[in-house]
Structure 1
Amino acid sequence: MHGVLLIDKQPGCTSHDVVANVRKILKTKSVGHAGTLDPSASGLMIVLVGEATKLSDYLLTGDKGYVVKVKLGVETDTDDFDGNVLKENPVTVNETEIMSAVFEMTGDLELAPPLFSAIKVNGKKMYEEGRKQRAEGEYDLSKLTPRLMSFYNLKLENVDLTNNEVTVSMDCSKGSYIRAWARELGKKLNCGASVKELRRTWSEPFRVEDAVTVGELETTSDISSHKSFVKLSEVLSHWDQMPVLDQDEKSIRNGQISKFTFSDLLRRYPVYEDAPEGVRVISQTSGKLVSVLTKEPGQGFRIKRVFNY
């Protein structure tokens, strides 16, 4: 089996747990993923099976969508409820003030990433520094250098002033932390905040509505024909597709772009600057994914991945 499994991860398990369970169900070691979810988070995980593991780099870069429940008045060292509480503050804001603050926090924002994150600073992952500071009982957030994050399509889903909770749906770019967004919302409202619940609703180009839980996967008789399984040739469906004949397919498998394939690329993309960043090459005979071509500055299209299945 080669392709993508769309898994609806449940709260309380790690992304590693999901991969381990899929390996067990499918009886194969060739399983990976394209983007982790925190243990307390739920929602869409893109699980890669077989030759699809070669596509992780191209699926990690896409935008994603989330629904987040933010708890006002509580600050933690992880910016979510998995961490230690640092402060509890009174919440005196009203719904209008909350709405105004939420919609001010859209677009490109310079935000410091969470202390507990996989971002590297001086060759060291931030969560290692976070664990050190937690053990010492003293927190220095000065090492959290702000970085550009992008949030868009924000929608205020619910305001619960009784429990000081705000639910927002949003989309964001790669490298954007919802926990950082929640922390900043708390600052704007002068009460602090952290993520209480987080659910990933989509990850380009897939949606959680097509996903299954691990439990449901265990009872699925024909996984390869289930809607949660995307065959390898369709995984990068949002990319341009180019069919090739047998001889040109053979050339690509040998690491070369044939003259005919090169001419076809020029015909399709006469203006190099307007060409897409990547093209998926499909066998005209078998319909299988042969390779992935990517645009390299000053070099034209180059073969980046070849698939054998």
Structure 2
Amino acid sequence: MTSSGLIVVDKPSGMTSHDVVARLRRIVGTRKVGHGGTLDPMATGVLIIGVERATRLLTYILGCDKRYVATLRLGQTTLTDDADGEVVTVADTALLTERSLPVPAIDAGLAALTGEIDQIPSAVSAIKIRGVRSYARVRAGEEVALAARRVTIRQLRALEIRRTPEAVDVDIDVVCSTGTYVRALARDLGAALGVGGHLTALRRLAVGDFTVDEAGTLETLAEGPEAGTIPLAKAAARILPTRRVTAEEARALAHGGPLTAVGTAGPYAVLDPLDDLIAIVVEREGRARPEAVLAPA
């Protein structure tokens, strides 16, 4: 029987997140597999995979902060705001010299994009407009104007700056809220500096406290997925606060019944005396009611 749990995958470049899910379905032997936050094909790094009952936890992972390292190329814009798109504009090389584009100006541009910002997603994105993906409209020749979204950039700093006559590459370390487009940061930094910019490399280091250090490759997971699976209760405890209840309370909750509230804000995981996960609950009107029951049937 396939175990329920989360698997932290180090996604390789060139695969979609759905490709990784399809591969894991074959590895673990079940179709009940999903992922907790898309990575573009060019990106690598942490992709959280839910197996069996742990797919119910993925909705809570979606809201976690993410950490990335990325390379922003200043001096060129592309149709997609990343290296997969056609180059649209190229800056005059005179604008890219150390005199014209000094390090303090780049640092100031990054600082201006830190904190709560209203970010316009890339037009070539999966956001739906009247039921059609934005990228499909762009590829059909439509002009797309997406609304800005409020996101939080908790950290954005330059790690290294490299110069060539044609471009300036800036390696960055960024911690951001869900919904942030790192390629939009590249686009907006380039626009603010007057030279244009796009994303050339992206690696996700962490989703919440799940890090790339604990991630397995598809090759290693194919040799034995159980070793890379975080059990259901332990996974829930890394995402949400926990509450332990009596065996009697656990039985009632497993059948959809409420518990007495204890004053915990937001959703939390409820564990039985054996530390098995029973449900995710939220409190309202003095009762803790299940949002998702995860006890075995």
* Aligned AA (2:118): E
| Equivalent position SS for 2:158 | strand
Q: Which residue matches 2:282?
A: 294
Structure 1 vs Structure 2: percent identity of aligned residues? 31
Asked if 1:219 is matched to 2:223, the reply is: yes
CA gap 1:299/1:183 in 2 versus in 1, 3 angstroms: farther
Question: Quick one: which of 164, 167, 172 aligns to 2:176?
Answer: 172
Question: Quick one: which of 70, 87, 90 aligns to 2:89?
Answer: 87
Report if the CA contact (8 A) 1:240-1:276 is conserved: no
Report if the CA contact (8 A) 2:4-2:231 is conserved: yes
> What 5-or-longer segments of structure 1 have no aligned partner?
134-138, 270-274
Give the drift of 1:48: 0.4
Give the drift of 1:120: 2.4
Give the drift of 1:116: 1.3
Asked if 1:277 is matched to 2:266, the reply is: yes
What pairs with 1:46-195 in structure 2 (closer than 5 Å)? 46-90=48-92, 91-92=95-96, 93-133=101-141, 140-141=143-144, 143-162=145-164, 163-195=167-199
* Aligned AA (1:18): V
* Aligned AA (2:115): G
| Equivalent position SS for 1:66 | strand
Q: Which residue matches 1:203?
A: 207
The 1-side partners of 2:161 and 2:287 are apart by: 51
Report if the CA contact (8 A) 1:242-1:280 is conserved: yes
Q: How many residues align?
A: 285
Report if the CA contact (8 A) 2:271-2:279 is conserved: yes
* Aligned AA (1:281): V
Q: Which residue matches 1:236?
A: 236
Q: Which residue matches 1:249?
A: 250
Give the drift of 1:94: 2.3
Which segment is superposed worse, 116-125 or 103-112?
A: 116-125
Report if the CA contact (8 A) 1:115-1:127 is conserved: yes
The 2-side partners of 1:102 and 1:300 are apart by: 46
Normalising by structure 1, report the TM-score: 0.87
The 2-side partners of 1:247 and 1:29 are apart by: 33
The 2-side partners of 1:291 and 1:308 are apart by: 7
Report if the CA contact (8 A) 1:69-1:168 is conserved: yes
Q: Which residue matches 1:307?
A: 294
Report if the CA contact (8 A) 2:78-2:88 is conserved: yes
The 2-side partners of 1:282 and 1:117 are apart by: 39
Which segment is superposed worse, 64-73 or 248-257?
A: 248-257
| Equivalent position SS for 1:202 | strand
| Equivalent position SS for 1:235 | helix
Report if the CA contact (8 A) 1:3-1:50 is conserved: yes
| Equivalent position SS for 1:175 | coil
Q: Which residue matches 1:272?
A: none
| Equivalent position SS for 2:206 | strand
| Equivalent position SS for 1:156 | strand
Report if the CA contact (8 A) 2:34-2:49 is conserved: yes
Asked if 1:30 is matched to 2:32, the reply is: yes
The 1-side partners of 2:104 and 2:118 are apart by: 24
> What 5-or-longer segments of structure 2 have no aligned partner?
none
The 1-side partners of 2:105 and 2:287 are apart by: 51
CA gap 1:295/1:125 in 2 versus in 1, 3 angstroms: farther
Normalising by structure 2, report the TM-score: 0.90
Q: Which residue matches 1:136?
A: none
Give the drift of 1:95: 2.1
* Aligned AA (1:39): P
Give the drift of 1:246: 2.2
Report if the CA contact (8 A) 2:279-2:295 is conserved: no
The 2-side partners of 1:255 and 1:152 are apart by: 38
The 2-side partners of 1:299 and 1:283 are apart by: 21
Give CA-to-partner distance per residue, 1:239-258, whole Å, 9 cap, x none: 2211122221121122112x
CA gap 1:289/1:168 in 2 versus in 1, 3 angstroms: same
